[in-house]
């Protein structure tokens, strides 16, 4: 049985993981692995990361970048692992009611692992997040719907809406061509998972590649419809922008809180985006199902959840209206809408704090000319609690002379100015489509900042 076909991935740092036994009744017969940074204090967040079919915990820790962010942002990482005895392809059984229902099967096993992490490491029960890829993404939907009282946030990568299927045949149909339901119908399925629940539901980040033929991209639309309905938001995005050249949308509830976001990765097949490198926002190890797309999904997801804020947690709402007001050769000026109750703000450049102004504006200085930077802002209340981060903006300092390169698409890829996927070529950074991967189609690319290229066929 192959439901959500998975992938082996690159070799993991097995020594970084520790298996834990005796974490409860374990009705789903799963294995538990954890990664805990040395010296992690109590009261820190917990991220649960669920692998895809044919994968295991050791193929989903550092390869996706989660161990890097656990070390950088100081949180604990829990990696449940399926057994082949439960599913021949080691897929989580997201399509079986006995495993996706609250208080049963695999869903309860994962819940018991979360409790064990709190008992052993004092993780903060208000800062528990879950993410997964492919079958793990579908199981992420399960955990967010069945245990909304446990998880503050969820991120579904190439996954399926909750309760899309209740047998293998329906599961395959959910994957391809996909199942179309109304937002109300999808939302009702989540509400039925825990009928007596009246609290807040997890915020949800949804990621999908437009070239995914394993789990068709319409599942991204259905997931957004499901979770915006659960949060009482409409399906019209409040923010539509691009991040690293990829379409990004944010949906807010009636109070202005960011509750759902989606990333559409142009040209990407089935997998989770990584961006290998040592940069502050880079992560992962590229492989067939962890494609190098010039964007690190785990980094952006962690930012959406507020994990990059040193104090973590959910305090004041995310500042809105963050905008670049000026750029210079070594500076970037920012402004945003003031947050009621904020006594100060924290400004983050590429995930690291660079300022703590009391007003809703800030100028970052000492920057390199002609270089692109990413910024987010979080509000701080009178007790010192740091709220959720804003949507990110990007700015490029002035002063560098853009470099232009004219060549065929094959050579652009070979020179590292573009990437190819499914026979198509895309400019690095901007993600602009350049046509077929061959030696016949020629374009001029302008490098507007290191590693960021735009098509400049009309002149450099």
Cα–Cα distance between 53 and 134 in angstroms, integer? 7
Q: CB within 8 A of 122, min separation 6: which ones?
A: 41, 42, 43, 44
Residue 389 half-sphere exposure toward CB, CA atoms < 13 A:
29
Cα–Cα dist 407/413, whole Å: 10
**Which positions ≥6 away from 194 have C-beta within 8 Å?**
102, 145, 146, 147, 148, 149
Closest CA to 442 of 421, 401, 422, 413: 413
Q: Choosing from 16, 62, 90, 134, which is the catalytic residue?
A: 134
From residue 399, how far is each of 327, 371, 459 by CA, in Å?
A: 10, 9, 19
Cβ-Cβ contacts under 8 Å for 150 (sequence gap 6 or more): 111, 114, 125, 128, 143
| Exposed/middle/buried for residue 163 (C-beta within 10 Å: 0-12, 13-18, 19+) | buried
Q: Can you read off the two tokens belonging to residue 426? A: 């895309």
The whole-angstrom separation of Cα 209 and Cα 197 is 33
Length of the chain, please?
A: 460
Is 224 within 8 Å of 251 (Cβ atoms)?
yes
141 is catalytic: no
Positive or negative torsion for Cα 44, 389, 387, 208: negative
Separation between Cα atoms, residue 458 and residue 313, nearest integer Å: 48
Q: In sequence order, what are the residues at sequence separation of 6 or more whose Cβ sits closer than 8 angstroms to the Cβ of residue 381?
A: 315, 316, 341, 342, 343, 387
Among 124, 342, 242, 426, CA closest to 416: 426
How far apart, in whole angstroms, are the C-alpha atoms of residue 314 and residue 127?
8
Q: CA-CA distance, 26 to 405, in Å (whole number)? A: 58
Catalytic residues: 134
């Amino acid at each position: 049985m192959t439901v959500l076909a998975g992938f082996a991935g690159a070799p993991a740092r097995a020594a970084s993981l520790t298996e834990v036994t005796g974490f409860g009744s374990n009705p789903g017969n799963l294995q538990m692995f954890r990664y805990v940074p040395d010296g992690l204090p109590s009261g820190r967040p917990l991220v649960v990361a669920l692998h895809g079919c044919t994968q295991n915990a050791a193929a989903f820790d550092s390869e996706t970048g989660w161990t890097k962010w656990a070390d950088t942002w100081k949180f604990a990482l829990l990696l449940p692992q399926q057994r082949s005895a439960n599913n021949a392809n080691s897929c989580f059984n997201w399509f079986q009611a006995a495993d996706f229902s609250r208080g049963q099967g695999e869903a309860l096993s994962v819940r018991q692992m979360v409790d064990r992490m709190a008992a052993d490491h004092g993780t903060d029960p208000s800062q528990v997040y879950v993410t997964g890829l492919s079958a793990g993404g579908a199981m992420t939907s399960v955990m967010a719907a069945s245990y909304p009282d446990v998880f503050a946030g969820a991120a579904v990568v190439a996954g399926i809406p909750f309760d899309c299927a209740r047998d293998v045949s329906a599961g395959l149909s959910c994957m391809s061509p996909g199942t179309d339901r109304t937002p109300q119908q999808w939302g009702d399925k989540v509400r039925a998972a825990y009928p007596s629940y009246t609290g807040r539901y997890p915020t949800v980040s949804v990621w999908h590649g437009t070239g995914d033929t394993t789990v068709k991209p319409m599942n991204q639309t259905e997931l957004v419809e499901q979770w915006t309905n659960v949060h009482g938001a409409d399906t019209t995005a409040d923010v539509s922008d691009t991040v690293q050249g990829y379409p990004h949308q944010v949906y807010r509830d009636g109070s202005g809180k960011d509750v759902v976001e989606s990333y559409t990765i142009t040209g990407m097949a089935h997998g989770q985006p990584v961006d290998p490198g040592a940069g502050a926002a880079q992560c992962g190890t590229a492989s067939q199902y962890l494609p190098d797309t010039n964007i690190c999904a785990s980094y952006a997801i962690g930012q959406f959840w507020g994990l990059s804020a040193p104090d973590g947690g959910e305090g004041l709402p995310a500042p809105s209206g963050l905008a670049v007001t000026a750029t210079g050769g070594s500076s970037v000026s920012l402004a945003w809408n003031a947050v009621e109750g904020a006594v100060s703000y924290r400004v983050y450049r590429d995930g690291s704090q660079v300022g703590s102004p009391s007003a809703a504006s800030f100028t970052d200085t000492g920057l390199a000319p002609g270089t692109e930077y990413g910024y987010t802002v979080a509000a701080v209340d009178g007790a010192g609690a740091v709220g959720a981060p804003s949507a990110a903006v990007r700015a490029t300092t002035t002063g560098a002379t853009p470099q232009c390169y004219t060549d065929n698409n094959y050579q652009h890829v070979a020179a590292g100015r573009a990437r190819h996927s499914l026979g198509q070529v895309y400019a690095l950074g901007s993600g602009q489509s350049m046509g077929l991967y061959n030696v016949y189609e020629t374009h001029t690319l302008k490098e507007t900042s290191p590693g960021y290229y735009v098509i400049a066929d009309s002149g450099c």
